[in-house]
């Protein structure tokens, strides 16, 4: 905040070290939020979504994955996914093969984790930044201009899963099970996305996206002043692909043209979105779209389980860019190649504001 007339960092540190979390603040019955959560007026003025009325007919595509193996249905599904990834960058899939009971168990397990007393959650060790198990409040607490109204549990499932004993007992079994299911869904989708660009189904496998999987179980507790803060600030995912499972409490919004569009929870649905890497390797055919979560005005917490699939290793050369197979004189590369180092440096210094990286490498 430009004109913060208080020692903001001190209050951020106190909140962080108290380990009470946003859930703890919410449960304590506060009626106003601490000032470190208050966002600047220019962000807040964009909170009134232009298409949020419940009558709005505009929503991200819902794609039915049944009959994927039928030679009659598959090309139609491939078309729908390509169109959705191009125009929206986001879509929901139904009939993806994961039982409703599994989805419910996963959501309930993450909810149970967050429902524990903060003293219990505080014992979860904070691992190295890119490894292990981390429980914390607020993405980017120190780097962003204002804190956001959520807590999260983060577990690196691959390349190496944490030792079982280090995972919270209350949701360990479900986290491990969800990892397997989400990976399978992501692999199927990446095949369909490959086919959508006229590539062999296995082409995107070369991105080894499923070898780095980050499980994030997010809780957006009730916020007493949802008009003053955000659940999660606007960003694009610095991933290849993201698979998201949410409970029935809404809050996720996707940028579509000039509008913020609510993503309505569809029972049994999974939300899929293309990350920055997919936009780059597809040479802009698929889009990594800005999204955000509004602070939760409902009494019930919003739960989301996000599985991030990132690039593990692509080519020996250690340089990344649009797939040569997709380039032609008519369709020249719109991004230059870049090194993993460049990408990581940008991401870790800029945090979630990684969209600027894509703009930086745009030719």
Contact residues for ligand AKG (CB under 6 A)?
216, 218, 232, 237, 244, 246, 252, 291, 293, 304, 306
- Residue 202: CB minimum distance to Fe ion, A: 27
Q: Torsion angle of alpha carbons 30, 35, 40, 43, nearest 10°?
A: -30
Distance CA 54, CA 77 (A): 28
Sign of the Cα torsion 155, 108, 186, 295 reads: negative
Q: Pick from Fe ion, ligand AKG, none: which does 246 bind, CB < 5 to 8 A by kind?
A: ligand AKG
Could you tell me the smallest distance in angstroms from the CB atom of residue 294 to ligand AKG?
A: 10
- The binder of 361, among Fe ion, ligand AKG, none, by C-beta within 5 to 8 A per type, is none
Measured from the CB atom, the residue of 78 and 134 that comes closer to ligand AKG is 134
- Cβ(275)–Cβ(186) below 8 Å: no
Nearest distance, CB of residue 261 and ligand AKG, angstroms: 13
Tokens of 230: 């955000």
Hey, what are 152's tokens? 């999260």
What are the C-alpha distances in Å from 134 to residues 151, 175, 233?
Answer: 11, 14, 20
- Closest CB to Fe ion among 109 and 306? 306
Count Cα neighbours of 47 within 13 Å in the Cβ-side half-sphere: 22
- Min dist. Cβ of residue 307 to ligand AKG (A): 10
232 binds, among Fe ion, ligand AKG, none (CB under 5 to 8 A by kind): ligand AKG
Q: Smallest gap, in angstroms, from Cβ of residue 317 to ligand AKG?
A: 29
**Residues of this chain, 219-248, that bind Fe ion according to CB under 5 A:** 237
* Nearest approach, Cβ of residue 60 and ligand AKG (Å): 12
Query: Minimum CB separation from Fe ion for residue 308, in Å?
Result: 8
Using Cβ positions, the residue closest to ligand AKG within the complex turns out to be 304
In angstroms, the CA 35 to CA 240 distance is 35
Of 210 and 296, the one with the shorter C-beta distance to ligand AKG is: 296
| CB atoms closer than 10 angstroms to residue 31 | 6
**Residue reference for tokens 């595509």:** 61
- 174 binding Fe ion? (CB under 5 A): no
Q: Find out whether 313 and 240 touch, Cβ atoms under 8 Å.
A: no
Residue 252 near which of Fe ion, ligand AKG, none (CB within 5-8 Å, type-dependent): ligand AKG
Q: 72, exposed or middle or buried, with CB in 10 Å at 0-12, 13-18, 19+?
A: exposed
| DSSP states of 175-231 | HHHHHHHHHHHHHHHHHHHHHHTTS-TTGGGGGTGGGSEEEEEEEE---S-TTTSEE
Q: Distance between CA atoms of 247 and 120, rounded to whole angstroms? A: 24
Min. distance of Cβ 339 from ligand AKG in angstroms?
24
Closer of 210 and 310 to ligand AKG (Cβ): 310
Query: Which one, 118 or 154, has the nearer CB to Fe ion?
Result: 154
Does 262 engage in binding with Fe ion (CB under 5 A)? no
* Cα separation, 119 vs 107, whole angstroms: 22
User: Shortest Cβ contact with Fe ion: which residue?
Assistant: 237
- Residue 281 interacting partner from ligand AKG, Fe ion, none (CB closer than 5 to 8 Å by kind): none
Q: How far is the CB of 252 from ligand AKG (least distance, A)?
A: 4
Which of Fe ion, ligand AKG, none does residue 134 bind (CB under 5 to 8 Å by kind)? none
| Residue 12 or 241 having the CB closest to ligand AKG | 241
294 binds, among ligand AKG, Fe ion, none (CB under 5 to 8 A by kind): none
Contact 356, 333 (CB under 8 A): no
Pick the closer one to Fe ion by CB: 98 or 243.
243
Query: In terms of CB distance, is 233 or 323 closer to ligand AKG?
Result: 233
Residue 332's Cβ-side half-sphere holds a number of Cα atoms within 13 Å equal to: 4
Residue 4 or 352 having the CB closest to ligand AKG: 352
Judged by the rule CB under 5 A, the positions of this chain that interact with Fe ion are 237
């Amino acid at each position: 905040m430009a004109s913060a007339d208080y020692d903001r960092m001190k209050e951020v540190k106190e909140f962080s070290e108290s380990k009470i979390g946003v859930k703890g603040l919410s449960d304590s019955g506060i009626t106003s939020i601490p000032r470190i959560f208050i966002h600047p007026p220019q962000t807040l003025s964009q909170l009134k979504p232009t298409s949020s009325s419940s009558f709005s007919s505009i929503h991200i595509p819902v794609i039915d994955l049944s009959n994927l193996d039928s030679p009659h249905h598959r090309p139609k599904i491939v078309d729908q996914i390509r169109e959705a990834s191009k125009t929206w960058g986001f879509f929901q899939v139904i009939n993806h093969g994961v039982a409703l009971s599994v989805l419910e168990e996963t959501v309930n397990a993450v909810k149970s984790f967050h429902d524990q007393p903060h003293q219990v959650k505080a014992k979860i060790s904070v691992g190295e930044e890119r490894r292990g198990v981390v429980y914390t409040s607020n993405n980017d607490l120190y780097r962003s201009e204002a804190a956001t109204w959520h807590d999260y549990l983060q577990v690196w499932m691959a390349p190496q899963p944490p030792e079982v004993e280090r995972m919270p007992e209350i949701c360990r079994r479900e986290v491990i099970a969800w990892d397997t299911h989400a990976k399978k869904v992501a692999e199927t989708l990446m095949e369909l996305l490959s086919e959508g660009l006229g590539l062999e189904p296995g082409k995107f496998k070369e991105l080894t996206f499923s070898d780095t999987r980050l499980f994030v179980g997010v809780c957006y507790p009730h916020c007493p002043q949802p008009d003053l803060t955000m659940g999660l600030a606007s960003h694009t995912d610095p991933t290849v692909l993201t698979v998201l499972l949410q409970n029935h409490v809404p809050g996720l919004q996707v940028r579509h043209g000039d509008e913020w569009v609510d993503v309505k929870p569809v029972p049994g649905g999974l939300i899929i979105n293309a990350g920055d890497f997919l936009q780059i390797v597809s040479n802009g055919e698929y889009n990594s779209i800005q999204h955000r979560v509004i602070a939760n005005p409902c009494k019930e917490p919003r739960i989301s389980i996000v599985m991030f699939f990132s690039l593990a290793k692509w080519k020996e050369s250690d340089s990344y860019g649009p797939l040569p197979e997709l380039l032609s004189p008519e369709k020249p590369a719109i991004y230059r190649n870049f090194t993993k180092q460049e990408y990581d440096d940008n991401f870790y210094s800029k945090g979630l504001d990684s969209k600027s990286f894509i703009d930086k490498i745009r030719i």
